[in-house]
Structure 1
């Protein structure tokens, strides 16, 4: 009987050790659209950084997971996830009913408004459709800002869609766009940091916030992600990271 107890104890210990090792050795691939400053971009040394990158690092540590970061163009995000090129999208993906039909979202972990930006000489009221007729508006393809401009201004303005925010800002500088409508912190970093540009209208709140996207079958992973993000908010880690990149609260 004693031998049986010892054997059972050893088996239990081995099982528990294997479980811990499996948890620590688990690999997850997280996709980011780069550059999308200040959320994800490469620093002067070519290292991937930004608010969501640092938050993902902390989340992976909390989950005891080894995470690899994958750079993916925005318009290939959901197809790439469904094709198993990566396991999570943590790249400012707003939660919308249309996307929720295809992917499983975590609880929202931040929410920022859309912002209108243009040259200092731009003095048109963007809510006046008669005044905006014929203007050229830049948006990033497939974002909630794209959806908003298409629904509210389609047929009135010329809409130019871009794969990256960086390309959109280059066209704004080159006077090939009248204004851009982009996630406010992105516009703050990429447009307002340049001479001769300003915020041209009030901010617009869109969607239900931003969540981590996963495949529909990964409900257990979603629970882990939600638990880790809640812990990071409760223990102050989230705020520490947020304050490095923003002077205002974006937490949900």
Structure 2
């Protein structure tokens, strides 16, 4: 085969690939980002009651928190408003997959089973998991894996996966919401609530009879999520936004405001 024929075949192959990609793009239609810009609103689903990530301010009734301020910042960056739709935890992801919202903006753990339904964006926090219980009940987190101990977690969370893998002696009961888990501990229906360390400390501040058990369980990460099939541009745009605010200092300001501590960049956080 001479060089001229080879080059012609390469050109034909390239043309076929480009035509295929164009056809695929036409079949997929508008990206979610185009729809957001067109309507002038970013619609997000969340669940209230997860301080400091998302909650209703008791004084103003405004929905606020770390992830709400983060997504509002992104909405402003692309020139649209933010509209928040609240659901029970079981309805947060279905609201996304059925097209009621564009994005999940909640303390959503990144898990492998969920990747079959949703596309995670870059995580906005990486934090160790912890356990909380009534004061004095446990001296160390290693004590929770015993017969007779009832562990509660958010349904579908990394905490549930970890507890079922590593606390085989205890009984693990996942519940629909964080409020349900806290109520179970306070009423004595459960002994331990597994959650990330930051949330645990906020819950303890609001409930003096509880304490965070010394020791950690696992490393967790929270991220916004979008639909798998029609949101590539939105995914790329939001991830770029996350990278830029980590570089220009806005993420550090958000971190200090809501978590009360300085953000110190590390290779894990910058690469995930």
**TM over 0.5, shorter chain:** yes
Aligned to 1:35: 49
1:211 aligns to 2:223 (yes or no): yes
Aligned to 2:99: 84
Given that 2:129 and 2:194 are in contact with CA atoms closer than 8 Å, whether structure 1 keeps it comes out as yes
Given that 2:111 and 2:157 are in contact with CA atoms closer than 8 Å, whether structure 1 keeps it comes out as no
Rounded Cα–Cα distance in structure 1 between residues aligned with 2:140 and 2:218: 18
Given that 2:53 and 2:106 are in contact with CA atoms closer than 8 Å, whether structure 1 keeps it comes out as yes
User: Aligned residues, how many?
Assistant: 229
Rounded Cα–Cα distance in structure 1 between residues aligned with 2:182 and 2:116: 31
State the TM-score, normalizing by the size of structure 1: 0.82
- Of the three residues 52, 63, 79, the one matched with 1:48 is 63
Rounded Cα–Cα distance in structure 2 between residues aligned with 1:228 and 1:247: 23
Given that 1:115 and 1:187 are in contact with CA atoms closer than 8 Å, whether structure 2 keeps it comes out as yes
- Report the alpha carbon displacement of residue 128 of structure 1 after superposing the two structures with TM: 4.9
Rounded Cα–Cα distance in structure 1 between residues aligned with 2:260 and 2:199: 14
- Report the alpha carbon displacement of residue 26 of structure 1 after superposing the two structures with TM: 3.0
- Report the alpha carbon displacement of residue 245 of structure 1 after superposing the two structures with TM: 1.4
- Report the alpha carbon displacement of residue 69 of structure 1 after superposing the two structures with TM: 0.8
Rounded Cα–Cα distance in structure 2 between residues aligned with 1:250 and 1:204: 22
Given that 1:52 and 1:91 are in contact with CA atoms closer than 8 Å, whether structure 2 keeps it comes out as yes
Which is bigger in relative contact order (C-alpha 8 A, separation at least 6)? 1
More helix by share: 2
- Of the three residues 83, 88, 104, the one matched with 2:119 is 104
Which consecutive residues of structure 1, in runs of 5 or more, have no partner in the other structure? 1-19
State the TM-score, normalizing by the size of structure 2: 0.77
Give 3-state SS (helix, strand or coil) of 2:219's partner.
Answer: coil
Given that 2:110 and 2:158 are in contact with CA atoms closer than 8 Å, whether structure 1 keeps it comes out as no
Which consecutive residues of structure 2, in runs of 5 or more, have no partner in the other structure? 1-33
- Report the alpha carbon displacement of residue 24 of structure 1 after superposing the two structures with TM: 7.2
**Structure 1 residues 123, 205: CA separation in 2 closer, same or farther (over 3 Å shift)?**
closer
- Report the alpha carbon displacement of residue 192 of structure 1 after superposing the two structures with TM: 4.3
